[in-house]
């Protein structure tokens, strides 16, 4: 059985195609959302409806090939599938569903033949330039089948220096964001991340940049000192005394080895994994780590995508980065839930959480941006927790944040000369669950659509809130003929039911700061 948000993701994909959209959509699914189950359900449904369909799932690392194929067998025992990957040691192309590594299959389009659907996992790694293995391979497949459909999957739909992966030139044309990290954390499907500012702050102010990111050799030289490394280990041992599985993201191979050596010196069972680690040794180390035989694992640039161990309950960020995508991939290793795990502690030695913000509120990089923007955060003076700028109380210890200074009055067009607002003829609406970045509370969001020239208008109903705000929202829904259903019914079901109803014929709205405020809804 799929979870409601997983089914929603599939439904949104079908709706996108049914709407007549052309091109290639990308499904944005947070780490730990169960994308492998979603893919398995999608493939099963496609083959049951159209038995002649051939599906090819592409990725770039062995671990994801094995993981995705395993989830397919779990979701659909007896699925007609094969694996084509040199690193896995299999070259099977005769089945309707094939899991393949791009490195192994990039020049084999003629051998692969007719394919109806290509699914690209971790598609943010596909170059935005009109070159590279993925593009060459897809062009060759399209020459065989011009009706080929391509679907992307990623948790981070952006690239540093380029912006969104839909910014041209791009393979993907639209982003389908059916669920957020905030929603999954709020509902208990993902673990809470407790991000803390550390006493030691690694300084990379003198490090130069190349391609929008720190030059790795300079970065490693700046942070990899014996003084820094010993201070890091001491602080981790103090703050992580009750944590069982530590994961260190380091600035380079040498740095990862030095941190491992100091951990071992202090009596902590620790190993190191890098790109140079032999395959057999790497598999052994990761297996021992997951079995609890190793408490601390250090790495340099390898344990991001494709590495999942739900038991991780402490992440030490020692690798500065200007890339929000890399930050999310690193922090995402701690998002999975596990028995006995209450949360995952993220120790921000490298200032990456402070730079990019809490993982539930990361903003994509702007096209051509230099990575020098400031994240909307504040730090709790009581416990060092990093929180969103709008938080009134620390999410970790509950301490109140000081009230912000009053904002200067800003007049909008609607405020001038007594203007009452804007009218919009409504052609449709869509209701969806929404999680507040500020409070983490669940609410309903409705988007009103007008003509092509109208920008959509969005309205929020905090029906799950206690007190006046929640009561007001429920009354507003009732006034629209949308009374609340039984409490046992989730917001996904409520949103689907509301979306199926008739929207108002016309609305009047005005801007309230950066938000819309719907003043009147006319149904007749």
Q: In this model, does residue 295 exceed pLDDT 90? A: yes
Q: In this model, does residue 405 exceed pLDDT 60? A: yes
Over residues 57-82, the mean pLDDT reads 90
Over residues 354-383, the mean pLDDT reads 78
The CA radius of gyration of the chain, in Å to the nearest whole number, is 25
Euclidean distance between CA atoms 129 and 387, whole angstroms: 36
CATH assignment of 4-179, given 3.40.50.1980, 3.65.10.10, 3.40.50.300, 3.40.190.10?
A: 3.40.50.300
Q: Which of these, 70, 79, 86, lies nearest to 37 by C-alpha position?
A: 70
β-partners of residue 521 are 507
Using pLDDT thresholds of 50, 70 and 90, give the confidence band for residue 415: very low
Using pLDDT thresholds of 50, 70 and 90, give the confidence band for residue 488: very low
Label each residue of 368-426 as H, E or C: CCCCCCCCCEEECCCCCEEEECCCCECCCCCCECCCCCCCCCCCCHHHHHHCCCEEEEC
Q: What pLDDT, on a 0 to 100 scale, did the predictor assign at position 491?
A: 81
Selected residue with higher pLDDT from 441 and 357: 357
Over residues 384-402, the mean pLDDT reads 86
Using pLDDT thresholds of 50, 70 and 90, give the confidence band for residue 308: confident
Euclidean distance between CA atoms 131 and 210, whole angstroms: 21
Mean pLDDT estimate for the chain: 88
Helices (H), 113-225: 133-144, 181-186, 216-223
Q: What pLDDT, on a 0 to 100 scale, did the predictor assign at position 416?
A: 45
Peptide bond between residue 169 and the one before it cis (omega within 30 degrees of 0): yes
Say how many residues make up the chain. 524
Using pLDDT thresholds of 50, 70 and 90, give the confidence band for residue 414: very low
Using pLDDT thresholds of 50, 70 and 90, give the confidence band for residue 158: confident
The token pair that represents 41 in the structure block: 């359900």
Over residues 279-283, the mean pLDDT reads 91
The token pair that represents 254 in the structure block: 């040498």
Residues 6+ positions from 161 with CB-CB distance below 8 Å: 211, 212, 365, 368, 369
Q: In this model, does residue 438 exceed pLDDT 70? A: no
Most confident of 272-276, 371-375, 481-485: 272-276
Q: Are 190 and 184 in contact (CB under 8 A)?
A: yes
Q: What pLDDT, on a 0 to 100 scale, did the predictor assign at position 58?
A: 94
Name the pairing type of β-strands 213-214 and 117-121: unpaired
Q: In this model, does residue 293 exceed pLDDT 80? A: yes
Domain spans, the chain: 4-179, 190-388, 413-522
Using pLDDT thresholds of 50, 70 and 90, give the confidence band for residue 332: very high
Euclidean distance between CA atoms 151 and 13, whole angstroms: 9
Using pLDDT thresholds of 50, 70 and 90, give the confidence band for residue 179: confident
Name the pairing type of β-strands 314-317 and 246-249: parallel
Number of helices (H), then strands (E), in the chain: 15, 26
Q: Which of 237-251, 286-300, 475-489, 493-507 bottoms out in mean pLDDT, i.e. has the lowest? A: 475-489
Over residues 504-518, the mean pLDDT reads 86
Q: In this model, does residue 260 exceed pLDDT 60? A: yes
Over residues 8-34, the mean pLDDT reads 90
Q: Using alpha carbons, list the distances in angstroms from residue 88 to 119, 279, 346.
A: 19, 11, 33
Over residues 499-507, the mean pLDDT reads 87
Half-sphere exposure of 146 (CA within 13 A, CB side): 0
Q: In this model, does residue 288 exceed pLDDT 50? A: yes
Per-residue pLDDT reduced to its tens digit, 192-235: 999 999 999 999 999 999 988 999 999 999 999 999 999 999 99
Helices (H), 149-252: 181-186, 216-223, 226-239
Q: In this model, does residue 436 exceed pLDDT 60? A: yes
Over residues 359-376, the mean pLDDT reads 71
The token pair that represents 297 in the structure block: 């694992």
Q: By CB neighbour count within 10 A (0-12 exposed, 13-18 middle, 19+ buried), where does 185 fall?
A: buried
Helices (H), 402-447: none
CATH 3.40.50.300 is the classification of domain 190-388: yes
Q: What pLDDT, on a 0 to 100 scale, did the predictor assign at position 511?
A: 84
Name the pairing type of β-strands 442-449 and 428-435: antiparallel
The token pair that represents 334 in the structure block: 């701690």
Q: In this model, does residue 469 exceed pLDDT 90? A: no
In angstroms, the first-to-last Cα distance of the chain is 41
Q: Which of these, 310, 317, 316, lies nearest to 341 by C-alpha position?
A: 310
The pair phi, psi for residue 452, each rounded to 5°, is -60, -30
Most confident of 341-345, 353-357, 437-441, 447-451: 341-345
Over residues 12-41, the mean pLDDT reads 90
> Are the folds of 4-179 and 190-388 the same?
yes
Over residues 131-136, the mean pLDDT reads 79
Q: What pLDDT, on a 0 to 100 scale, did the predictor assign at position 131?
A: 63
Half-sphere exposure of 385 (CA within 13 A, CB side): 23
Q: What pLDDT, on a 0 to 100 scale, did the predictor assign at position 418?
A: 42
Q: What pLDDT, on a 0 to 100 scale, did the predictor assign at position 486?
A: 45
Q: What pLDDT, on a 0 to 100 scale, did the predictor assign at position 75?
A: 86
Over residues 296-304, the mean pLDDT reads 93
Q: What pLDDT, on a 0 to 100 scale, did the predictor assign at position 501?
A: 82
β-partners of residue 121 are 153
Using pLDDT thresholds of 50, 70 and 90, give the confidence band for residue 417: very low
Q: In this model, does residue 370 exceed pLDDT 60? A: no
Half-sphere exposure of 57 (CA within 13 A, CB side): 28
Using pLDDT thresholds of 50, 70 and 90, give the confidence band for residue 519: confident
Q: Are 350 and 358 in contact (CB under 8 A)?
A: no
Q: What pLDDT, on a 0 to 100 scale, did the predictor assign at position 406?
A: 66
Q: What angle (nearest 5°) sits at the alpha carbon of residue 43, between those of residues 41 and 47?
A: 120
């Amino acid at each position: 059985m799929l979870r409601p948000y997983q089914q929603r993701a599939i439904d949104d994909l079908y709706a996108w195609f049914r709407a007549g959209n052309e091109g290639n959509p990308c499904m944005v699914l947070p780490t730990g959302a169960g994308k492998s189950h979603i893919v398995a359900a999608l493939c099963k449904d496609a083959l049951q409806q159209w038995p002649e369909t051939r599906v090819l799932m592409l990725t770039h690392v062995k671990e994801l090939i094995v993981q995705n194929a395993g989830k397919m067998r779990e979701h659909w025992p007896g699925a007609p599938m094969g694996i084509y990957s040199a690193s896995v040691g299999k070259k099977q192309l005769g089945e309707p569903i094939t899991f393949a590594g791009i490195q192994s299959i990039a020049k084999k389009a003629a051998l692969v033949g007719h394919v109806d659907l290509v699914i690209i996992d971790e598609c943010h790694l596909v170059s935005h330039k009109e070159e590279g293995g993925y593009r060459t391979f897809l062009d060759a497949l399209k020459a065989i089948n011009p009706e080929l459909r391509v679907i992307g999957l990623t948790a981070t739909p952006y690239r540093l220096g380029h912006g969104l992966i839909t910014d041209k030139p791009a393979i993907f044309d639209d982003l389908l964001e059916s669920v957020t990290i905030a929603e999954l954390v709020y509902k208990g499907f993902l673990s809470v991340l407790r991000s803390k500012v550390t006493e030691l702050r690694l300084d990379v102010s003198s490090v130069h940049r190349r391609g929008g990111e720190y030059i790795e050799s300079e970065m490693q030289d700046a942070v990899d000192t014996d003084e820094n490394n010993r201070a890091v280990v001491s602080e981790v041992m103090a703050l992580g005394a009750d944590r069982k599985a530590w994961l260190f993201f380091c600035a380079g191979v040498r740095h990862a080895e030095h941190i491992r050596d100091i951990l071992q010196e202090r009596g902590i069972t620790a190993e190191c994994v890098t790109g140079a680690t032999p395959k057999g040794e790497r598999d052994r180390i990761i297996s021992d780590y997951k079995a609890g035989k190793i408490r601390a694992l250090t790495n340099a640039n390898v344990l991001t995508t494709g590495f999942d161990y739900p038991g991780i309950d402490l992440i030490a960020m020692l690798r500065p980065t200007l890339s929000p995508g890399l930050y999310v991939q690193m922090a995402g290793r701690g998002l999975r839930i596990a028995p006995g795990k209450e949360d995952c502690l993220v120790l921000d030695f490298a200032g990456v959480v402070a730079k990019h913000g809490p993982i539930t509120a990361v903003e994509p990089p702007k096209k051509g941006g230099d990575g020098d923007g400031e994240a909307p955060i504040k730090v709790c003076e009581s416990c060092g927790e990093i929180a969103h700028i709008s938080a009134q109380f620390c999410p970790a210890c509950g301490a109140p944040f000081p009230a912000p200074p009053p904002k200067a009055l800003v007049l909008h067009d609607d405020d001038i000369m007594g203007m009452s607002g804007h009218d919009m003829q409504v052609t449709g609406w869509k209701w969806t669950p929404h999680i507040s970045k500020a409070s983490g509370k669940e609410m309903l969001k409705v988007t009103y659509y007008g003509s092509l020239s109208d920008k959509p208008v969005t309205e929020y109903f905090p029906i799950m809130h206690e007190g006046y705000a929640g009561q007001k929202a429920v009354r507003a829904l009732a006034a629209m003929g949308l009374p609340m259903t039984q409490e046992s019914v989730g917001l996904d079901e409520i949103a689907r039911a509301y979306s199926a109803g008739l929207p108002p014929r016309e609305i009047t709205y005005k801007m309230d700061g950066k938000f819309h405020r719907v003043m009147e809804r006319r149904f007749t």
